[in-house]
A and B are shown apart, each in its own frame.
Chain A
Amino acid sequence: MSYLNVAEVETALQLAARPANSGFTKLITLPHITWEGRTCRAIRIHRGETAGGGVYLLGGVHAREWGSPDILINFVRLLTDAYRTGTGINQGGMSLGPAKIREIVHNLDVVVFPQANPDGRHHSMTIDPMWRKNRRPPGLGDPSCTVGGGDGPGVDLNRNYDFLWDFPTKFSPDAPVMTSTDPCSEIYRGPRAESEPETANVTWLLDRSPTMSYFIDVHSFGEDILYNWGDDDDQTTDPSMSFRNPAFDGKRGIPDSTPGGDKEKYREFLPGDDLNDVVALGNVMRDAIAAAHGRQYSVKGAVGLYPTSGTSDDYAYSRSFVDARKPKVRGYTIEWGPQRDSIPESFHPNYSDMVPIIEEVTAGLFAFCSTVAGQLTSPQSTDAHTAVRQH
């Protein structure tokens, strides 16, 4: 048993969309070719004309987090096989019957893009296992980077989205923001927002998924389920205090728990209903993961001591605030697997240790999709109370 290589992820995806599954799957060829000339593909799983809602699962963004595409291919294979054969699914201690599988495929538009950064994955799996970024070559005038051990030119795709990307302007100069303008840095944001073909593929799919309501980006490690926002603490009462308001430029990125507090009192607006929803559905994933093999993931807001900018989940959620015609897409990042003694082993555990992680995260994703699909059949609030967080 071993991790899927780049070619295997692509073939597995094409296999899931084979003729026997053509009534409910569609293979999507993404328009932007990677720096090393690879074509990326995603799969859409849905039966019927229009879906009531959608879940977008993304993986393989950070090259060295080898297990993410394996998790999503496992999810796709189980879902398509179960639907085609009219059977259910068992993953660890979690099971879904045939009726629940039908509910997911009939009610939801499930879009899975399992290998967003194939160039980086190939480099990580053949030359430099600690490689994180894409394979953008150095540009004219860029510094010469040392190479090896994860170092070298390239862009951190999860800092390249158009959400507070211009961090030197948008954040407080005192904020310890986890992004960089240095092309040699492991967390380099890129020369401009959405400059990279891999990032553009992710947003292209979002643009063409009008029923999408949730976005889950699968990463490692830490056993966390993180919801919006990553730039600062959240608050539910003041819509004007948001990433869109230039009056708060230079004031973001200092969480209240910072010693001395946040003098500017900036907190990102998160509507109370959305907060309820992301926490409730995060807890659904957490409980399904625990039922699989007993691991306890934490559900929490993405911001910690070290805020972020330009991340996929915040970008996905921000879109409907920027343009009300776009669907509201609530965002999560899952950080699978525990920290191990060695950092490389945390990112790519021995495959025998990866198998239960694949099962538990797959279980969490199925529980998530099943709950969302069930709500579309019989709409009900996940929580009777609307959360309120004052700033």
Chain B
Amino acid sequence: MAKIHITVRGRDRASMADLVRVHGVRVYPQTLKEGGEGFQVDAVTDDTVIRRLVDAGYDVDRHEDVDEAAQDSLRQVGRGNRYAADAAAAEREMR
């Protein structure tokens, strides 16, 4: 089942805590916002849990399919070994 990045809004701080202790949602604590604009946190979960959260009274904004979006990142990984030549030179230096 696809994993979706969501933003969850609740009525108060206790409802934000319930995301973890009642619903077992994998939230990202560093995204927690609270105060004048209300309470919200980002999380990654699947459609079943999203439906359960909506039924429990949370507002849920859906963002990207995380797995799909992440595949793009693989192009950012280095190929081969860019230090190999320097390491070989150091090896020669040692002899």
Interface pair B30/A221, CB less than 8 Å apart: yes
Q: Is A290 an interface residue (CB 8 A)?
A: no
**Residues of chain B within 8 A of A18, CB atoms compared:** 87, 90, 93-94
Interface pair B87/A3, CB less than 8 Å apart: no
Q: Which residues of A line the B interface, CB within 8 A? A: 2-5, 7-8, 11-12, 14-15, 18-20, 66, 125-126, 128-130, 146, 148-151, 174-178, 185-187, 221-222, 224, 257-260, 304-306, 335, 339, 341-345, 348, 350-351
Interface pair A20/B63, CB less than 8 Å apart: no
**Residues of chain B within 8 A of A125, CB atoms compared:** 74, 77
Interface pair B63/A186, CB less than 8 Å apart: no
Interface pair A8/B2, CB less than 8 Å apart: no
A4, A149, A174: residue with the most chain B Cβ atoms closer than 10 Å: A149
Interface pair B20/A15, CB less than 8 Å apart: no
**Residues of chain A within 8 A of B70, CB atoms compared:** 128-130, 149, 344
Closest A residue, CB atoms, query B18: A176
**Residues of chain A within 8 A of B12, CB atoms compared:** 259
Q: A178-B20, A259-B13 are in contact. Are A8 and B44 (CB under 8 A)?
A: no
Q: A150-B44, A342-B69 are in contact. Are A222 and B30 (CB under 8 A)?
A: yes
Main secondary structure of the interface of B (DSSP, over half): helix
Give complex CA distance A342, B17 in Å. Answer: 23
Q: Which residues of B line the A interface, CB within 8 A? A: 1-3, 5, 12-14, 16-21, 26-32, 34, 42, 44, 63-64, 66-67, 69-74, 76-79, 81-84, 86-87, 90, 93-94
Q: A3-B76, A20-B93, A306-B27 are in contact. Are A344 and B69 (CB under 8 A)?
A: yes
Q: A12-B83, A304-B32, A305-B16 are in contact. Are A342 and B5 (CB under 8 A)?
A: yes
User: What 3 pairs across the A-B complex have the smallest Cβ distances?
Assistant: A222-B30, A149-B67, A344-B70
A5, A15, A175, A305: residue with the most chain B Cβ atoms closer than 10 Å: A305
Interface pair A259/B78, CB less than 8 Å apart: no
A129, A146, A151, A304: residue with the most chain B Cβ atoms closer than 10 Å: A129
**Residues of chain A within 8 A of B82, CB atoms compared:** 4, 8
Give complex CA distance A150, B67 in Å. Answer: 8
Give complex CA distance A185, B27 in Å. Answer: 12
Contact of B74 among A12, A126, A149, A224 (CB under 8 A): A126
Q: A12-B83, A306-B29, A343-B42 are known contacts; what are 7 more A-B pairs with Cβ within 8 Å?
A: A15-B83, A128-B67, A129-B70, A185-B26, A259-B14, A260-B14, A339-B42
